[in-house]
Amino acid sequence: MKQVEDSEILEKFANERTKNEAFNLLLNKYQQKIYWHVRRLVIDHDDADDLVQDIFVKVWKYLGNFRNDSQLYTWLYRIATNECITFLNKKKQKNNVSLDDVSYDLADKLEESNYFNGDKIQRKLQQALLTLPEKQRLVFNMKYYDDLKYDEISEITGTSVGALKASFHLAVKKIESFLLNTD
């Protein structure tokens, strides 16, 4: 099925009569990408589900203000990324624990999850990712799984391309070390 162009979605969304249709097109095109981006960050399906709904409610509210100075999907990723970071920070504050402890919590969820069908090495990779600082994990996910370019990630995170490359480099080294040294 041919993907609808972002420009067409925006044009229809601007028209009150076709606004709902436009939003359905947007959901069809981006819902899954946004879901997986969120899911890889928060691990738990239910948390991801709640966040995705919140994200698209925000998209509905603010899409009318979207300007074509950036691509639609980078704008969507930015909203999703901010929602995820806010969620993880709240989790940290609620439990009064450090980020490392949040990682342990996410690792537990990974173990308990009914919606994980990766093999042993895939599970090990996810465990390695959960040892990374939040930003490195974010950058690695967008580069490794979503295959986004650095300038796109830069637009999403508001971080310079150089800093993103360094973060990705450090993340790769830590993951390789984890895969080598952990049973």
The stretch near another protein (CB under 8 A) out of 10-18, 23-31, 69-77, 84-92 is 23-31
Q: Is 64 in the site for another protein (CB under 8 A)?
A: no
Q: Is 52 in the site for another protein (CB under 8 A)?
A: yes
Distance CA 153, CA 22 (A): 26
Contact yes or no for 45/112 (Cβ under 8 A): no
Here the tokens at position 25 are: 């097109």
Return the closest-CA partner of residue 121 out of 44, 61, 175: 175
Burial of 34 (0-12, 13-18, 19+ CB in 10 A): buried
Q: How many residues bind another protein (CB under 8 A)?
A: 42
**Quick one: 97 or 125, whose CB is closer to another protein?**
125
Q: Is 125 in the site for another protein (CB under 8 A)?
A: yes
Q: Taking the CA atoms of the chain, what radius of gyration do you get in angstroms?
A: 18
**Quick one: 54 or 97, whose CB is closer to another protein?**
54
Q: Is 61 in the site for another protein (CB under 8 A)?
A: yes
Here the tokens at position 166 are: 């360094």
User: Which residues would be at the binding site for another protein (CB under 8 A)?
Assistant: 23-24, 27-28, 31-32, 35-36, 39-40, 45, 49, 52-53, 56-57, 60-61, 113, 115-119, 121-123, 125-126, 144-145, 162, 165-166, 168-169, 172-173, 175-176, 179-180
